[in-house]
Structure 1
Amino acid sequence: MADLVTRQDQDGIAIVSLNRPEALNALSPSLFVELRNHIDALRQQSDAIGCVILRGNGRSFSAGNDLKAMQAGDVAPHPAFQAETVEMIEDLPQPVIGEIAGHCYTGALELALACDLLVCGKGAKFADTHGKWALTPLWGMSQRLPRRVGIQCAKEMMYTGRVIGGQEAFEIGLANKCVPDPILSETVLQLARDMVENSWHTLRADKMLLNKGQEFGLKAGLQFERDNSPGRASGEEERLSSFKKE
């Protein structure tokens, strides 16, 4: 049986791919178990991996939660497992880029929102369809979406279930870039290369300070930065700023 999630490393970049293309990478509990195993490994490998790309094999990032798999008896280890896994992606020390092609619906959108940056193809389709199935968010939609696009855009997306395309996703700030579909993977890989050419020590520090800083008001956030910024790298960590894998 093929792996439900695959990983390929190149030049300090880990490319993690959802691998159920025949099911539009629907998020089954079993897929989440494999995804968490990769995330656990990456968390321990910040000296070898400077940036992570999260993508889907085939024509879609993911069509969302796999209700059929759950109905067939595929269950997660515990009820909060998926939500915890999404949070673990957000908390990785390395920056994470979401590469979004095709569908990115509901649970898949919650997964994508855990990424630091999103780059989508023009053919990408984003939607929160919880309301179409009488479901409610459990993996972070109500918290991460408004922080990404603003409360008014988040309300419209969540209340209507409307599908928005790649260009609109860029215009509302959901995606950092929207590019022609044929160059999506190339664009994401180059963005990751641009990151890993910089100091990995700084990348990790920037991510921690930015993410944690969102929990404070301005004055408290400024104090948090002064108290917690790790300062200049020294010794072995300085080598990472020019790291090139042979």
Structure 2
Amino acid sequence: MTAALAVDQLGFSYGKGGFALRGVAFAVETGRFTALLGANGAGKSTLMGLLTRLFTPDTGAILIGGHDLRHRPGAALAAMGVVFQQPTLDLDLTVRQNLTYAAGLRGLSARQTAPRITELLDRFALSDRAGDKVRLLNGGHRRRVELARALLHRPPLLILDEPTVGLDAPSRCDLVDHVHRLCTDDGVAVLWATHLFDEVRDGDDVVLLHRGQVRATGGVPDLLSRSGAGTLREAFGTLTRPEGTP
């Protein structure tokens, strides 16, 4: 079965200042929640920029649903939904207007749009806020709207770049729960970029990114076993430690 996302030996640099990413390779499988875990400055946002075609890689390839992002960008991007780190909703439009506008940009017909919006509003408990301007929503509800917007065209892959930044603890937990259910209930493949260890669950897959390189991949139990650590935080410290360091 083709992976929802396959990244192969990806490399990228910002001019002559040294590499931002080097030899990055991993896969995200259908129905799996994969955490891209790394400290601030590890290269997560650069990688997200490459996955969304904001940047073009110097080397390597990105396949989304089997489509090469460089050579078949339309088909590749159509198979993906994105929630960016910085909010991108129009604050002066209502929740429904934001979703309707996004559906039009995706090429969905009016016949397709109305039932999908209704379904997503219900799913994310936003039905009673559909007529409210987005500026009246709290941070957690705004993120739910962005998540609903990313799912309008029913993409098999969803990528999220630090989506809980600025949210309080209950809202963070709520969003993590929603996205995990997308994996288990709908078979959506998820790549979730974060620096927060408590957003990763025992059944998740993990890609450890450190200083622009992938240091380890695998399930949480595998990383704990490989590192001899008792927690993911400890495993991260061990697996990203420079060679020769005790």
Q: TM-score, normalised on structure 1?
A: 0.31
Q: Looking at both structures, which has the greater relative contact order when contacts are Cα pairs under 8 Å and sequence separation is at least 6?
A: 2
> More helix by proportion, 1 or 2?
1
> More strand by proportion, 1 or 2?
2
Q: TM-score, normalised on structure 2?
A: 0.31
